[in-house]
Structure 1
């Protein structure tokens, strides 16, 4: 069985006005859906970022995969490298996942194709992807409620257009958490910080602890604080946080904070590629890595990362960005097979308000997702849904994520600064 055709389809879906240290989410989120078609209805699926520079690289690689044996992922990597060359370095447009490098660019492009190959492998042998990654160590993968400071709605939209409404103070954050945990049964909670002055975000964490005394809590300011501020917040949240994620920029800064912090520091911004591991781990800059198969090069390489973390005594979770069901399925298959997964994974799924490209989207219940028993990723594409979301892409006018630019439309004085406080 060989790949006969590669299809890359950019899609867009509505995104709420979620605030972060870089600005605010635009009304539409972008993704790209990858199909590796082998004939007779056999299709492998992958999902990745939908920004224009990334799409250009995906579309350049796609034709080179014709004739690929989906079991030969070493050949896949060679073909990706041949097309991209060694000097490719496209900026990381998400803005919240660390810097870019030629190696990271290659891994970002490789990832959706590797995921699609694993989906094909599973379908061909009749086994779920988790079995190809070593077998299940859990039947359900836990996810965390992901809280955001947010506006009631995008400017110009009806104020009741967003069912979650405004969350700009502790009461709003607690109300959001109650809705998310009540709907999905989440058993841990993460707050995206770096939006308000640190003392106000500490207040939100204290309010969450009072409202949810048994839920592990996390705070992620996306490197918005200085080392001094990070140390102070860590001291004031002792006993409140399961971990503090990326409080300050850089491995050096994180290592300084980690020396005095009473809780582990987590990251998806300073250890983001293989070349970051030796220094980041040796300097004890992080205690938890939020792995993300979208930029670590796919599912197998992320499993390798988890094994390295085990060797160093580093905890493992999974990072999330705005995503659809193919990514959720891939994360769930991966999470089912990782003994090292020591913390519930992040997911943006609730914030997509039901938008998806799958015929039968996976469900979050009791704070977790059941691992599909069907072969491969265990999910099927809905061609009509894919066509609708592609039409969104054609009409929405957005081609690259720009949280900062969108924020500046409403606050011209806004600047993305790390650190800000």
Structure 2
């Protein structure tokens, strides 16, 4: 079996005005859909970032994939390294929003984008679900968490309609957001994207959620926007209310000092994003929970390696999320179903997706009682709706956004906004 075609399609889909430490989401989020086909007629699907620097790398790699055996993952790694070494990519991001926008992760991002598609094709060829290719499932259903955001009622851009979720800037509005999301999807835990309002306002929101959902696991993620003293103070106020405390401080040294001061379990997707940082974290005794993300950790098998490392060093494991579609969601679920260690429900932005803007046949995927249930179809079990893909590609061409820039979007609301962190 050999690759006979590789199709790369950048798309844009509507994104609500979600606030975060880096600014605010633009009216459209960008992703890239990868479609492989083999000489045997088997397909392989992937989904990754849609920013211009990633697209530059994806297009540079495509000619080197012609005729490849999709089982040759070592060959894929060599080609990826070659392309990253030789390709100069554009980058106009104001600052690193997350590891997904970090140029230092280009090898991992490029490799993972195609590794998922290669593994999908392998599993389809062998007639088995992707999770079985990854070693078999240790769980049939992968739990996910309700992911809450502070947000405006609409985007500042004049041609963008009011957002169906409405405004969420107060404890009561945030509780209503949680009620809607949990009623729709059955989630059993809640995460709040913080670092937006003053810390005391965000403490009040967590307390309101705890009152409304007694006993439900809660998390807060300020994305490194709090200074150490602030994080210690907030941690003491929220002690006993949080399942874990995610990335309140911007550095590993601060996270280690925070843990020493509060004893609270700390989670990260910012200060531990590769195995070198993993080693530094074990020495510093900084974070106790690692939030993996196959898009920048180097793919599904490297995520399994991370899970084994967490198990070895006694750390917890869960999964980070960014704005995504169903291919990424299902890939997350398959690898999460394959690792014995999955300490907490995974993050997902998927409930924020407009139901009409999914690219897989059958439309928006469903959670059952707060979890994604794996089926028995070969590979990822997904097919592309070509009409929907073309519609979202045309939306990409028309929207004018080519790289995510939450800071530039925020300056449309607040011209003097800088995004400098930590801000509180």
Class of the TM-score when normalised by the shorter of the 2 chains? over 0.9
CA gap 1:92/1:283 in 2 versus in 1, 3 angstroms? farther
TM-score, scaled to structure 2 = 0.96
Q: Deviations over 1:235-272 (max 9, x none)?
A: 11000000111001111111111112242111111111
Of 411-420 and 8-17, more deviation after overlay is shown by 411-420
Which residue of structure 1 lines up, in the alignment, with residue 255 of structure 2? 254
Which residue of structure 2 lines up, in the alignment, with residue 409 of structure 1? 412
Which residue of structure 2 lines up, in the alignment, with residue 384 of structure 1? 387
Contact 1:45-1:115 within 8 A present in 2 as well: yes
Contact 2:96-2:102 within 8 A present in 1 as well: no
Q: How far apart are the structure 2 equivalents of 1:101 and 1:222?
A: 15
* Cα drift, residue 56 of structure 1: 0.3
Contact 1:226-1:248 within 8 A present in 2 as well: yes
Which residue of structure 2 lines up, in the alignment, with residue 333 of structure 1? 334
Q: How far apart are the structure 2 equivalents of 1:102 and 1:165?
A: 35
1:48 aligns with 2:48: yes
Of 324-333 and 96-105, more deviation after overlay is shown by 96-105
Q: RMSD of the TM alignment (CA)?
A: 1.8
Q: How far apart are the structure 2 equivalents of 1:166 and 1:400?
A: 26
Contact 1:141-1:368 within 8 A present in 2 as well: yes
CA gap 1:416/1:103 in 2 versus in 1, 3 angstroms? closer
Q: Deviations over 1:21-67 (max 9, x none)?
A: 11000000000011122145421011000001110001001110111
Which residue of structure 2 lines up, in the alignment, with residue 69 of structure 1? 69
Q: How far apart are the structure 2 equivalents of 1:315 and 1:142?
A: 15
CA gap 1:169/1:159 in 2 versus in 1, 3 angstroms? farther
**2:376 alignment partner, SS class:** coil
Taking the TM superposition and a 5 Å limit, the aligned residue runs for 1:181-220 are 181-220=182-221
TM-score, scaled to structure 1 = 0.96
Which residue of structure 1 lines up, in the alignment, with residue 325 of structure 2? 324
Q: How far apart are the structure 2 equivalents of 1:171 and 1:100?
A: 33
**1:257 alignment partner, SS class:** helix
**1:260 alignment partner, SS class:** helix
1:109 aligns with 2:110: yes
**2:343 alignment partner, SS class:** coil
Contact 1:143-1:345 within 8 A present in 2 as well: yes
* Cα drift, residue 68 of structure 1: 1.2
Contact 1:35-1:44 within 8 A present in 2 as well: yes
Long gaps (5+) in structure 2? none
Which residue of structure 2 lines up, in the alignment, with residue 28 of structure 1? 28
CA gap 1:258/1:96 in 2 versus in 1, 3 angstroms? farther
Contact 1:271-1:289 within 8 A present in 2 as well: yes
Q: Deviations over 1:203-238 (max 9, x none)?
A: 000000000012100000000000111111111100
Contact 2:21-2:196 within 8 A present in 1 as well: yes
Q: Deviations over 1:153-196 (max 9, x none)?
A: 11255997322100001011100000000110000000000000
Which residue of structure 2 lines up, in the alignment, with residue 233 of structure 1? 234
Q: How far apart are the structure 2 equivalents of 1:329 and 1:99?
A: 19
Aligned length: 421
Of 33-42 and 191-200, more deviation after overlay is shown by 33-42
2:374 to 371, 374, 379: 371
Q: How far apart are the structure 1 equivalents of 2:414 and 2:258?
A: 32
Which residue of structure 2 lines up, in the alignment, with residue 358 of structure 1? 360
* Cα drift, residue 97 of structure 1: 2.0
* Cα drift, residue 273 of structure 1: 1.7
Q: How far apart are the structure 1 equivalents of 2:152 and 2:263?
A: 33
* Cα drift, residue 95 of structure 1: 3.6
Contact 1:96-1:222 within 8 A present in 2 as well: no
**1:4 alignment partner, SS class:** strand
Of 340-349 and 157-166, more deviation after overlay is shown by 157-166
Long gaps (5+) in structure 1? none
